[in-house]
Structure 1
Amino acid sequence: MADSPARGRLSRASVRVRTTAAAVVVVALALVVGAVALVWLLRASLTDGLETGAEQRADALAAQVEASGPPGVLGEDPDDTEDPDDTEDPEDLAEDVLEQVATDDGALVVATTGLPRGLPLDDGGERVADLPGRWVLATGDAEGPDGADYVVTVAVPAEEVDDSVAALVPLLALGLPAVLLVVGLTTWVVVGRALAPVERIRAEAEAVGGDALHRRVPVPPARDEVHRLAETLNRMLGRLEDSATRQRRFVADASHELRSPLASLRQTAEVARAHPGAMDEGELADATLEETLRMQRLVESLLVLTRADAGRRTTRVEVDLDDLALAEASRLRRAGAGGSGPVVDATGVVPVRVLGDPVALGQVVRNLVDNAARHAVAEVVLETGEEPGHAVLRVTDDGAGVPVEDRERVFERFVRLDEARSRDAGGSGLGLAIVQEIVRAHGGTVRVLEATGGGAALEVRLPR
């Protein structure tokens, strides 16, 4: 519980502070472990060297004993005239190599001049009685020329090891904080420079609003994660700008389209009110009904597009696409029974089945058929078929066709290539836009092709 405030403060710290702190802590732990390992390895290496030297001296002394017996004196300077029985100061012996020869039962035969007492006959300890510091002991067995068994012992002072380790520790104590300081400063600077583009991106994104979607965040030159982030944000802003532009255009176009039937209704009402006898009741009712139906179709189309924009899930059931096409062909024949409509050819309709929303797909077929009927001169052709992985619906008319440069634009909302004729026929410019939205929701595509005998062929491809 006591650490909670500290953790809370750390979590609120900036990325720069947290990254620097983490780098310093990790490097500090690594350096401490490395320093301890270095001291231990240095001590072990120097000690191993002393042990090797002591063993070599012990082997040499054992060889001497085996060759000629125990020597009379060990460690005596030939120029030294002092009494060999004199005992040296233990402090003076602290830097000497001490040797001795003893019998196998521990009786001392000969030892280094001045050695206060005999050395232990095993190498298990690091201390020698009456001598300061640590010592490295090495022992060996030897058989003299007289057949007697001897034990030779060599003691090497470990003062050099301790001095080397003692000299290294202060260097590490001074060097580690210096390294940590360099690491901390370097991390602080590097992270700050790395995050500088992020701060510029944040500041620019803060300024982007609904009325400033044209703005873009700066893209750093480095091809790193921040570069990709900036490009992603700019693409997102581009999509938002396009969506907002389409939304504003959609609202403006919808308002304009709704204003026309409303103005016509108002004009009819004003004429009937100002001149009661100018229009009979049947003519007034027909004019009002025509404009009301026109406005109803427009509102229904707008609702369909709104639901499509909201991403409404479509019902997925098995739908016979050929049945939908034949039903629309029958409807169009009935509408032109008086000879005023185009000839409907549905001989190319073959059985094909897809998964989708039957109501929505029915609206797709109806919109395509109505569009073809408005532009046809004499004939409308409906065809269905199968291709690998796809079901195909094609509606063809023998009209003027669609110019190549307009074959994408015809699917935009409120687009009419022949403004006057579309208005007269009751078109709102939303039929093909609705077709495209529904087909996309079903994972399919729709495109405009040039018919074989002239005119336009609208082809829908849906996954089977």
Structure 2
Amino acid sequence: MRGRTTLGATVVVAVALAIGAVSFYGILSGSIHSATERSAEQRLDELAERLDQPGGRGPDGAGGLGGLAGLDDEIVQIIADDGSVRAASEEARDALSSTVLPVTDDAITMTIDDEPMLVLSDDLDDDRTLVLAVSVENDAETLSTVAVLLTVAVPLLLLLVAVTTWLVTGRALRPVSRIREEVDGITAERLHHRVAVPDSADEIAALASTMNGMLDRLDASATAQRRFVSDASHELRSPLAVIRQHAELAQAHPSTTSIGELAEVVSDEGLRLQGIVESLLLLARLDEGAGSVHEPVDLDDIALGEVRRLRSSGMEVDGSGIRAARVEGDPRLLGQLLRNLADNAARHAQGCVAIAVAPADGYVFVTVEDDGAGVPVDERERVFERFVRLDEARSRDAGGSGLGLAIVRGIAAASGGTVAVDDSRWGGARFVVTLPLAR
């Protein structure tokens, strides 16, 4: 990883340096060329002004050498309208002989006597043209020197960047490699181990804290899963053990055990076993995202149905708090939610249960309360865990399988709501489910 990081950074820097070097050379070349051209134009204007002064046309008045006297190191020609050379500096005669410099509106570059020259021209007042050639050899040498320096400096700078990146990334990624090695050594049997968090308070420390948070969640999930498997196996083993015990008793003492008694035990335990399996399957579907069905559901109708069911069994049920309320969800799951709460209240009530449905502020509050022993404050969160039964309800006949309230919480969460428990008006337990109203 360190090598790939260094290579990637080096490539990026190399591209940036190459673009920068080329841009710098282009800008410098243009700047030097412009400065030389401006200097040549200024010199051309000075010569033209000099030739227009009295005596600048020479003794013959026809543009002779009078105006070009003393120009030994400059190449200057005066071109007549017919293209002939009327006058030239000594340097021009030596370098050009009879060659005529080109007359152009824009400055051009040409080679004269194996030396690069910038040629400019300017019209005089009497149909003559003044042509000046200025050497640009120094400019070329300057640009050549800059090109050599850039050719040497860019690779050296790139090498420096590569070495620096290698050292810096190695130091920066060393804690990441340590974290990776520590996490790689954490297996399912060592989920209690955690990554050491450095004191740097930077991104590496944040990464270590995030990894520890993930390990905490994995550890909690694994612990809950092991507890769930243990409790599930125990709950499933109990009815099977009862059936086997009665069957062995009937087999050993057929005269003392009636077929009807054995059939009743097998039927009761079979129904209990079926309920546990169905509850486990429903919880598994909720864990996988069941409850994705969203259709209008009248909670008041479901609640009134539970009131009638409990009253038919002889239970005193108060349904006066049921108001019309509609939510969006799976009607089968919401019916299971109300059924589980109603059965839980009936199982722990002394003789009175109340069911209410109250819409308010965009939500509907479903309340199921009883006059039983209630739920202690320190148990009000744990009571929704799977296979949890309070001490008062540990017996099989009273306590059920311990999955009903876990299913209630799962269905409420799948429907976008919550569930909580507190004290009822009679001192028992009051379960409140909060669901969003249908739009």
- Please give the TM-score of this superposition, normalised by the length of structure 1: 0.80
> What is the CA–CA distance in structure 1 between the aligned matches of 2:29 and 2:13, rounded to whole Å?
24
> What is the CA–CA distance in structure 2 between the aligned matches of 1:303 and 1:99, rounded to whole Å?
104
Matched residue SS, 1:400: coil
Matched residue SS, 2:271: helix
State how many pairs are aligned. 423
Contact 2:79 2:128 in 1 (8 A): yes
Which range is displaced more, 362-371 or 350-359? 350-359
Correspondences of 1:320-359 after superposition (within 5 Å): 320-336=298-314, 342-359=315-332
Q: CA 1:137/1:380 → structure 2, altered by over 3 Å: closer, same or farther?
A: same
Which range is displaced more, 375-384 or 230-239? 230-239
Matched residue SS, 1:429: coil
Q: 1:297 aligns with which of 269, 275, 278?
A: 275
Contact 1:384 1:392 in 2 (8 A): yes
Q: Does 1:404 align with 2:381?
A: no
Q: Offset of 1:420 from its aligned partner?
A: 5.2
Matched residue SS, 2:364: strand
1:4-45 deviations in Å (ceiling 9; x for gaps)? xxxxxxxxxxx5444433443443344334333433433333
Aligned to 1:90: none
Which residue type is aligned with residue 51 of structure 2?
V
Aligned to 2:103: 122
Aligned to 1:69: 55
> What is the CA–CA distance in structure 2 between the aligned matches of 1:103 and 1:19, rounded to whole Å?
70
Q: CA 1:380/1:114 → structure 2, altered by over 3 Å: closer, same or farther?
A: closer
Q: Does 1:108 align with 2:86?
A: yes
> What is the CA–CA distance in structure 2 between the aligned matches of 1:137 and 1:40, rounded to whole Å?
22
Aligned to 2:62: none
Matched residue SS, 2:189: coil
Contact 2:350 2:372 in 1 (8 A): yes
Aligned to 2:347: 374
Q: Offset of 1:175 from its aligned partner?
A: 0.9
> What is the CA–CA distance in structure 1 between the aligned matches of 2:394 and 2:375, rounded to whole Å?
15
1:313-347 deviations in Å (ceiling 9; x for gaps)? 454333332222222222222222xxxxx412222
RMSD, aligned CA: 3.1
Q: 2:187 aligns with which of 203, 209, 224?
A: 209
Q: Does 1:132 align with 2:114?
A: yes
Q: 1:238 aligns with which of 198, 211, 216?
A: 216
Q: CA 1:348/1:40 → structure 2, altered by over 3 Å: closer, same or farther?
A: closer
- Please give the TM-score of this superposition, normalised by the length of structure 2: 0.84
Matched residue SS, 1:245: helix
Q: Offset of 1:75 from its aligned partner?
A: 5.4
Q: Does 1:446 align with 2:419?
A: yes
Which residue type is aligned with residue 200 of structure 1?
R
Contact 1:121 1:151 in 2 (8 A): no
1:58-89 deviations in Å (ceiling 9; x for gaps)? 32232232222235564549xxxxxxxxxxxx
Aligned to 2:387: 414
Aligned to 1:257: 235
Matched residue SS, 1:319: strand
> What is the CA–CA distance in structure 1 between the aligned matches of 2:262 and 2:43, rounded to whole Å?
132
> What is the CA–CA distance in structure 2 between the aligned matches of 1:258 and 1:121, rounded to whole Å?
109
Matched residue SS, 1:68: coil
Q: Offset of 1:102 from its aligned partner?
A: 5.2
Unaligned runs of at least 5 residues, structure 1: 1-14, 78-92, 337-341
> What is the CA–CA distance in structure 2 between the aligned matches of 1:50 and 1:21, rounded to whole Å?
43
> What is the CA–CA distance in structure 1 between the aligned matches of 2:407 and 2:218, rounded to whole Å?
21
Q: Does 1:365 align with 2:338?
A: yes
Q: CA 1:26/1:368 → structure 2, altered by over 3 Å: closer, same or farther?
A: closer
Q: Offset of 1:395 from its aligned partner?
A: 0.9
Unaligned runs of at least 5 residues, structure 2: 59-64
Q: Offset of 1:284 from its aligned partner?
A: 4.4
Contact 1:200 1:218 in 2 (8 A): no
Aligned to 1:46: 32
Q: Offset of 1:457 from its aligned partner?
A: 0.9
> What is the CA–CA distance in structure 2 between the aligned matches of 1:175 and 1:400, rounded to whole Å?
86
Which residue type is aligned with residue 137 of structure 1?
V
Contact 2:341 2:431 in 1 (8 A): yes
Quick one: percent identity of the two aligned structures?
Answer: 48
Contact 1:135 1:157 in 2 (8 A): yes
> What is the CA–CA distance in structure 2 between the aligned matches of 1:426 and 1:33, rounded to whole Å?
78
1:202-236 deviations in Å (ceiling 9; x for gaps)? 32332232222223445566666665555444433
Q: CA 1:68/1:201 → structure 2, altered by over 3 Å: closer, same or farther?
A: same
Contact 2:370 2:426 in 1 (8 A): no
Q: 1:455 aligns with which of 408, 428, 435?
A: 428
Aligned to 2:61: none
